[in-house]
Amino acid sequence: MTRAALCFPGQGSQCAGMADGLLDEPLARSLLAVADAEGLDLAAALRGSDEELRPTEIAQPGLLFVELVLASVLPTDLDIVGVAGHSVGEYAAVSVAGAYSAEDAMRLVIRRGREMAAMHEGTMVAVIGLDVDSVTVVCEEVRAGGDVVVVGNVNAPAQVVVSGSVDGVRRAGELARQAGARKVIPLNVSGAFHSPLMAPAAQRFAEVINATPRGVLRCPVVCNVDGAAVAGSDALPERLARQLESPVLWIDCVRTLVALGAEVLVELGPGAVLSGLARRIDPTAATATVNDRDGAARLATSPATPA
């Protein structure tokens, strides 16, 4: 039995057609009904264009839908040693692990997406070619001038996302280039996600997630805020709420999944961003991607792409 860790991508991975072949699965119907009850025509959104899927309040539940439905059709002979998700992907992870029902996870993500979309202040950029220590120094220099700017994601050894006020992020980008960054890429996001500017949204969302019933975890969840493996669901609400205003420590998450004994890191969702990051974080890591039902079936016979 293959020892696998499941990984779920976050916002930015969504794309037109990502739900093709999944809308008639049993879990799909249940999730679409939840979205309808929350005032979101998710079925129509999932049939839309890339542009129609771009808004935060659409992209996040759309990704969760695809990730949870793909997880529901995985082969049953995988030994799941741990799960993790990047940003909103963490909600698919905690649901698959047993902390929340799929339906409650959808309700949470719809609320999360709306709260984050309402926070229009700020922006984000990806800094390519500098390590996290160098980017941290850049952010500290900008903050000394009074602007809000922080490391928002640590995705790979030389791929760090900066988040904060528009002026702060602009200045951080300038200093990063001066420090030797190969590229500074603006991200198409509606706000300063994973920064202190998300604190009001995090506080409102904490009330919702604290009131949501939890189940018993079937496997460890590796959390974005600290890269630690959590074995009990009581530890999750605080971490999930704090994640909105804290950096995603994805390097630490991948290393923890490997330390848990994963023989293959299985990415469930559109694209293969996390698989690429995993190989940059740990060149020995074997990866597999599951983008559709056929991909789930192939996993049973060819579980991994060798490192």
Q: Which residues are catalytic?
A: 87, 194
Helix (H, G, I), strand (E, B) or coil at 305: strand
Question: Each residue of 267-285: b (16+ CB within 10 Å) or e?
Answer: bbbbbbbbbbbbbebbeeb
Burial 88-120 (b: 16+ CB within 10 A, else e): bbbbbbbbbbbbbbbbbbbbbbbbbbbbbbebe
At 111, which helix (H) or strand (E)?
helix 102-117
Tokens of 271: 């694209």
- Tell me the sheet residues that pair with 289: 267
Is the backbone of residue 145 left (phi > 0), alpha (psi -120 to 50) or beta?
alpha
Classified as helix, coil or strand, 201 is: helix
From the list 69, 12, 23, 71, the residue with the least C-alpha distance to 46 is: 23
